[in-house]
Amino acid sequence: MKNSNFDYMNCSLAQTLSVIGEHWSLLIIRDVFMGLRRFSEFQKDLGIAKNILSERLKRLVAEGILEKTKGEAGFSEYRLTEKGLALQPVLLSMTHWGDQYKPAKKGKRLVFVDRASGKPIQRMAVRSHDGRKLHAKEVKAKRGSGYASERLDVPLAE
């Protein structure tokens, strides 16, 4: 794995990237959301080298995103934990971005639907406290109690 450990940074995005920022990890998580469970299924779907797949699965289990269980015929299976399920909006947002900015010529690759109604879900969006959709320029960052930086001279945009 490339140097993708940002433990030294006091940044939520950097901490997230330390865990899921490597592309194979996100594709494995995607595959589990799509119903794949076994090492051989991931390997076949992704075409990933077995040693790399093994490393990524171990890391995702160690981080509590996947749990490894015994499945049918004693084969190991991987399932999303609550921590892993919480990544669904991240993957949906990235997929919606790809649909818009890297579309397939023949149309959408996947359509995500509400299981109960069968109707397509809305695109992921940032919403205000009262539910209004916000655009990027309508959101700003404010320092929280956990904010600290070695670069104290770096102001947040106002």
Amino acid at 69: T
Which residue has 């040693």 as its token pair? 51
HEC profile of 98-120: HHHHCCCCCCCCCCCECCCCCCE
Per-residue model confidence (pLDDT) at position 144: 84
Domain boundaries, the chain: 12-85, 88-138
What does the alpha-carbon distance between residue 50 and residue 10 come to, in Å, rounded to a whole number?
33
Model pTM?
0.86
Please list the pLDDT of the chain residue by residue as tens digits (158 residues): 455 577 788 888 888 998 999 999 999 999 999 999 999 999 999 999 999 999 999 999 999 999 999 988 889 999 999 999 999 999 999 999 999 999 999 999 999 999 999 999 999 999 999 999 999 999 988 888 887 765 555 555 55
Amino acid at 132: R
Q: Which CATH architecture has domain 12-85?
A: Orthogonal Bundle (1.10)
Per-residue model confidence (pLDDT) at position 141: 86
Q: Are 27 and 46 in contact (CB under 8 A)?
A: yes
Q: Are 31 and 43 in contact (CB under 8 A)?
A: no
Per-residue model confidence (pLDDT) at position 1: 44
What does the alpha-carbon distance between residue 128 and residue 60 come to, in Å, rounded to a whole number?
32
Per-residue model confidence (pLDDT) at position 150: 58
Per-residue model confidence (pLDDT) at position 86: 98
Pairing of strands 76-80, 66-70: antiparallel
Amino acid at 131: G
* Count of CB atoms situated within 10 Å of the CB of 32: 22
The tokens for 19 are 């865990």
